[in-house]
Amino acid sequence: MATPMEISAEHLIYRTPLASRYASDAMKKNFSDFKKFSTWRKLWLFLAKAEKALGLQITDEQIEEMEQNIENIDFKMAAKEEKKFRHDVMAHVHTFGAVCPKAASIIHLGATSCYVGDNTDLIVLRDGLDILKPKVASCVDQLAKFAEKHKSLPCLSYTHLQAAQVSTVGKRACIWAQDLLTDLTSLERLARDLRFRGVKGTTGTQASFLSLFEGDAAKVERLDDMVTEMAGFKNHYIICGQTYPRKVDVDVLSVLASFGATVHKICTDIRLLASFKELEEPFEADQIGSSAMPYKRNPMRSERCCSLARLLMAQVQNPLATASVQWMERTLDDSANRRVCLPEAFLAADALLNTLLNIVEGLVVYPKVIARRLNEELPFMATENVIMAMVKAGGNRQECHEKLRCLALQSAALMKQEGTPCDFLQRIETDQYFQPIHDKLDSLVEAGSFVGLSVNQVDRFLSVEVAPALERYQGCLSQSVKLEI
């Protein structure tokens, strides 16, 4: 009997697949325990610095001691303290105090748990948005390059997933890019409008700080402003309860959910086009499409995006429910829920962007297949041109319309019942009624004449909307993303 291999600890416990399989290291670090608790310590340091500057008896030595131990976190001690006190913030107050004995007495002075908890959440949300924005911009950039390259390539467009009129491959890519630009604008607005909770005390009244500063309201307000500035925010809430308004979480996850819908639409389109063999996502040399069918080239990346997008879209239900049941100044039934839904939403959005960027920078187009599929439908679309040409040649509009209707129905019936190619044009060519325009038929069904202003629209969109939006991201646009799985 074979001896089992040694199994590492990481394979014996559940880990969220968003962290273990899909999200980037940057986003995982942003929601890590180290980022969280080192930020708590930074916030305690900011508070002590501001309180000292405003006249409280805090020494330079205490400040220096705190500064030197921001990252010196004993996680084992913190876990023991939390098990003892059943309170995560107090556990870390004691753990920080253990390595800062001189400053222990002034750590968390006048603050409530939400001073570090909620303000840290806002910092992490802000930093998470900063990770996402350049990635969305990079996806737009890649789609813009794709659109420019294929702006004149005619293709079938679809309504109801039925052949409609002629568009171009580049124009369709601009439709995708436009939705992503909307998401980028929303993310930028979120980041711009995000406010710090600030230094508000237990229920937002700042009573503890008013007591510390012996009734000097101006100093309390200055304290709030100073810590907000140290944390890198331009504004803080004037009004709040114990927490920052949970409507903020609704706003953030609504924007992320909307982005999820964008990606789902784009990748669904790619999956459909792949089934038509018009377009394909990247496919590695050794990639296996199916364990049973060696010939398969499944759009695995696009399918992953649709799968994760559904997860992301569903996450917005959590903050909506949480915001609706925050009794009075707050309840604690938000805590466990937010520990899960906020990180998971950002990790999902990050994973979507990593995969989407890999897809759009490696899209493969098959012009001959696109042309063949277009030519099968183009004769039917040319009927209006044929009618106009016949009228100019002296024909009757209504009579011509009826002739074309009958020929089109005959051709369509054969295509459906016998599987034969479209012979609508040949029927017109052999029908003596249409003899006056037989020499013009080729020009009447030339694909490029049916695309309208598609090429102009692509040029205008790229110059008027895309270029200005991407200008502020120059230097941080990703050029390549390698997926591990």
Determine contact, residues 203/22, Cβ cutoff 8 Å. no
C-alpha 186/C-alpha 163 separation (Å) is: 33
Query: Which tokens hold the place of 37?
Result: 């608790």
Question: Coil, helix or strand for 151?
Answer: coil
Phi, psi of 30 (to 5 degrees): -60, -35
Query: Which tokens hold the place of 209?
Result: 């700080």
C-alpha 47/C-alpha 41 separation (Å) is: 10
Q: Which of 105, 290, 443, 480 is catalytic?
A: 290
Query: Which tokens hold the place of 412?
Result: 């369509």
3-state SS of 389-404 is HHHHCCCCHHHHHHHH
C-alpha 183/C-alpha 212 separation (Å) is: 45
Q: Which of 11, 160, 275, 291 is catalytic?
A: 160
Question: Coil, helix or strand for 354?
Answer: helix
Is residue 38 part of the annotated active site? The answer reads no
- Strand runs labelled E in 251-324: 279-280
* Strands 162-168 and 279-280, sheet pairing: unpaired
Q: Give which of 172, 222, 231, 280 is closest to 46, Cα–Cα.
A: 231
Is residue 160 part of the annotated active site? The answer reads yes
Cα angle 181, 185, 188 (rounded to 5 degrees) comes to: 135
Q: What distances in angstroms separate CA 288 from CA 272, 274, 297, 300, 481, one per listed residue? A: 20, 16, 8, 10, 20
Q: H-type helices in 54-194, by residue range?
A: 60-68, 75-85, 88-99, 113-149, 169-193
C-alpha 387/C-alpha 190 separation (Å) is: 53
Name the residues annotated as catalytic. 160, 290
